[in-house]
Structure 1
Amino acid sequence: EYTYLQYHSYITIPFVEDASIENAIHCLAVMLYYNRPPEAITDRMKRLTPVAMRMEVKEGINNCLIINDSYNSDINSLTIALDFQNRRAAAKGMRRTLILSDIYQTGLPPASLYRKVADIILHKGIERLIGIGPVISDNAYLFNLEKEFYPTTESFLAQLDPADFHNELILIKGAREFHFELISETLELKQHETILEINLDAIVHNYNLFKSKLRPETKIICMVKAFGYGAGSYELAKTLQDRGADFLAVAVADEGAELRKAGITMPILVMNPEMSSFRTLFSYYLEPEIYSFELLRAIIAEGEKLGLAGYPVHIKIDSGMHRLGFEEKDMEQVVEILNDQTVVIARSVFSHFAGSDEKRFDDYSHRQIETFSRCADYLQQHSKHKILRHILNTAGILRFPEYQMDMVRLGIGLYGVSPIDTPCGLETVSALKTTILQIKTLSAGETIGYGRKGVLSRDSRIAAIPIGYADGLDRHLGNGKGCVVVNGKRAAIVGNICMDVCMIDVTDIDCKPGDRVEIFGEQLPVTEIAEKLDTIPYEILTSVSTRVKRIYYRE
């Protein structure tokens, strides 16, 4: 609702994020200034599209990491970007470099502006500055650190030697007219044309959505096992740590050790510890799940050798999943062993649902809850310290919130996939994309690919894209069973999928080599692909090969 002079009307702003809302209000102010009628304003406001302002994290040359924020340049966004860089540099032990353009429209005299910028980057720990633009170059004397300046982006690129960058976390921050995307492309590690984009803002949104469904005191374990469900565990772990998540959970000790090496300090639960991994567990303070007497006795014995005391472990109860865990009849002996030593203490007790995502199993799920509760009660009654309880997974949080107990485990929902049919407002996290390599015009009757399985029924335009089963594109999607999205339209996969390439039918699509292709993401949900393959989204997400480059971004 707005009022201006004789106008009093309503508009709809098609955004929810603060920056886009502010931009929309500027558009409204301009139209009011030019005396546009209310009905025209209402129509135009509905048709606004957001300005691309995303901060991307990419692998760079010579073991560098690139933070590309080459969409805007102002003091406030510079501070935000430097904070983002600073957290990652501290974790990875990398040198901090800033490539910065002239900053416009601040209302400050140049000397005052760049003195302020110099203070900010000094405070944020920048070790190397590359300034680009005539104004920042004129004020080079204000910066007291390793520095170099260039009048234009072109002059910098002309003198750029890739060997000058090594083991650096490089923030590229510039006004749009400087075209710093050219710098990002030059410093980016050139790999496969196929990429997996991970939206860290979506991770935060999904985390907050589930957190809003819980009591304030309920803790959250975020599952980042299996390389973060294919999305890459470190960036996700760092984002979740920054958001205040209580625990992370990984599958094996080596995954946890890598997170510790990368600077993750929050508690990490190891779901499938191996007997051979005890030293790794202890060295990196990883908290193991204990599911058998053999494992419990072995970890106590190993801990005694090292003189450990009060090391946290998590007791797993088999309440009906029948995979791993202690049964109810075992609880008396579990308590005897725990109380007869001081090496480990039970930090939590938990269990797994067998079918919490399906209503037809609700009676069984409730019996599991009852069994688990009896076991947890017995364990707590015979312990001198508080033991956290958790049984709810993502589906459980949505369907049985009354049993959230002390803690919940957030898995597939964190990654934007709902385990139940009811929409719950999740945002897509991962998008697998590639590009068109070549397009051929072929006649009806021609065949495509190995085994000549793709037989054309009409004259067709066939595009080759650089993704195959070695990248994680399931071979069963070939021969028309699967499709991809090109410029907003679906294109069927033609013939057998090869190891590194597959072919798609783009006869009815306006496209050219170099155009982007979505394998799954916003336009083609991973759940749809899973249904075609008669599997689950977990398998699709975790099948994306590690040779596919991950790009992380924030809006």
Structure 2
Amino acid sequence: MSKAKETVLEIDLGALAHNYAYLKAKLKPDTKFMGVVKAFAYGSDSVAIAKKLQDLGVDYLAVAYVKEGVVLRKAGITVPILVLHPLPASFKKLIKHDLEPSIYSEKILLDFLRAAEEQGLGNYPVHLKFNTGLNRLGFREDEVEHVCNLVKGRKEIRVESVFSHLAASEDLNEAFFTKSQIAAYERITGMLDKGLGSKPLRHLLNTSGIINYPMAQYDMVRSGIGLYGYGNEAAIDKELRPVARLKTIISQINRIPAGETVGYNRKFTSQGPIVSATLPVGHADGIGRPYGKGKGYVVINEKRAYILGNVCMDMIMVDVTDIDCKAGDEVIVFGGESSAETLANHAGTISYELLTGISQRVKRVVLDE
């Protein structure tokens, strides 16, 4: 990897391939794999990630919204794409680009059936989403019979899969609740198979589910954060490789006398002579204000340099008093040995938020070694 000359997000497709292989090895040979590439592939580059996953043999991709799927289709992605949160206003685009909707409520079902009729569709794949405890999107268990009555016999669509989402699969203290979700899902899919007279694909597990509840892998699993190098627990993180590495450089070195302040609102006052480094990355790039005032840090020449005062829109200042460095030196914000999960924890958040918050103004550099 070359040294950074500006703020860049390096995307390591070799790490992605490693993570995919690691997760696939947890599955039965005939279990299908859905790669989640929503939110710019967790803040990286959805097209580059989707193309690599397609080359690796992924069975399905998943996005949150229709416009994300359209971008992938225009880039030449041909594998099936599930849209997890489609909205009726986008149904025409969804159909035009051969995207497959999650149907999570009676309104969405009826709206899509109307669109399917208008477009003259036949046997179009849809995916039924059931709520088993996350209480976000999905039909309820007591709606199974009604859903079957609405769907059965409709020539415009076919039910390709039935799925749900685990609420706390990463937390083994919540094992009882997770197992109750699995049991509810079993009941729902059993009733649906009878009511529909067919056996759609079943998928329930997310990344932590793959690791902690392999008995519930059914026909397919869905992985998002695990593909990008984070397993929601330290032991798994050691087996995975972070795909994204955020790097920048030192713009200027400043010597701060005792008693002087640093940054907006004078939130840091030097207790003695210190040395600071100013870096060209700030909250407009995704390093939010919660990382300021010593909570967040970067790595310079293998040493941590903590943020001084408030994070600015385009810059941060860090303490390099005990670090031998100069203007132009490379800085690792996160990635590799400096985990996004650890950095996020320092600010009271999670790796998902840090990764997906990296601004699109940050240059992406794709590496495929």
The alignment's TM-score, normalised by the length of structure 1, stands at 0.65
The one-character-per-residue Cα deviations of 1:316-374 (angstroms, maximum 9, x if unpaired) are 11111111111111011111111131111110000011111111111111111111111
For 1:201, the equivalent position in structure 2 comes to: 14
Aligned ranges 1:127-142 → 2 under 5 Å: none
Structure 1: any 5+ residue segments left out of the alignment?
1-51, 55-180, 186-191
Aligned ranges 1:375-386 → 2 under 5 Å: 375-386=188-199
Contact 2:129 2:138 survives alignment (8 Å): yes
Matched position secondary structure for 1:245: coil
The one-character-per-residue Cα deviations of 1:70-113 (angstroms, maximum 9, x if unpaired) are xxxxxxxxxxxxxxxxxxxxxxxxxxxxxxxxxxxxxxxxxxxx
For 2:313, the equivalent position in structure 1 comes to: 499
Contact 1:358 1:420 survives alignment (8 Å): no
CA root-mean-square deviation: 1.5
* 1:490 aligned onto 2:304: yes
Give the deviation of 1:384 after TM superposition: 4.4
For 2:60, the equivalent position in structure 1 comes to: 247
For 2:118, the equivalent position in structure 1 comes to: 305
> Within 2, Cα distance between the matches of 1:242 and 1:336?
39
> Within 2, Cα distance between the matches of 1:402 and 1:479?
45
* 1:425 aligned onto 2:239: yes
For 2:343, the equivalent position in structure 1 comes to: 529
Contact 2:145 2:195 survives alignment (8 Å): no
Quote the sequence identity (%): 47
Amino acid at match of 2:247: K
* 1:445 aligned onto 2:254: no
* 1:226 aligned onto 2:39: yes
For 1:510, the equivalent position in structure 2 comes to: 324
For 2:295, the equivalent position in structure 1 comes to: 481
For 2:135, the equivalent position in structure 1 comes to: 322
Amino acid at match of 1:549: K
* 1:347 aligned onto 2:160: yes
For 1:405, the equivalent position in structure 2 comes to: 218
> Within 2, Cα distance between the matches of 1:458 and 1:467?
26
For 2:248, the equivalent position in structure 1 comes to: 434
Contact 1:485 1:523 survives alignment (8 Å): no
Indicate which of 396, 400, 415 corresponds to 2:209: 396
> Within 1, Cα distance between the matches of 2:201 and 2:114?
24
Matched position secondary structure for 1:422: helix
> Within 2, Cα distance between the matches of 1:344 and 1:482?
50
Per chain length, whose mean CA-contact separation is higher, i.e. which structure has more relative contact order (CA < 8 Å, sep 6+)?
Answer: 2
Amino acid at match of 1:536: I
> Within 2, Cα distance between the matches of 1:462 and 1:364?
49
The one-character-per-residue Cα deviations of 1:288-308 (angstroms, maximum 9, x if unpaired) are 000001111111111111110
For 1:259, the equivalent position in structure 2 comes to: 72
Structure 2: any 5+ residue segments left out of the alignment?
none
* 1:332 aligned onto 2:332: no
* 1:295 aligned onto 2:104: no
Matched position secondary structure for 2:52: helix
Contact 2:26 2:214 survives alignment (8 Å): yes
> Within 2, Cα distance between the matches of 1:494 and 1:535?
19
Contact 1:417 1:428 survives alignment (8 Å): yes
Q: How many residues align?
A: 368
Q: Which has the greater radius of gyration?
A: 1
Matched position secondary structure for 2:311: coil
> Within 1, Cα distance between the matches of 2:291 and 2:131?
37
> Within 1, Cα distance between the matches of 2:164 and 2:140?
11
Amino acid at match of 1:212: A
Amino acid at match of 2:253: I
The one-character-per-residue Cα deviations of 1:172-218 (angstroms, maximum 9, x if unpaired) are xxxxxxxxx9xxx9xxxxxx921111110000100010001101100
For 1:373, the equivalent position in structure 2 comes to: 186
Give the deviation of 1:504 after TM superposition: 0.9
Give the deviation of 1:460 after TM superposition: 1.6
Contact 1:464 1:503 survives alignment (8 Å): yes
Matched position secondary structure for 1:382: helix
Amino acid at match of 1:312: P
The alignment's TM-score, normalised by the length of structure 2, stands at 0.97
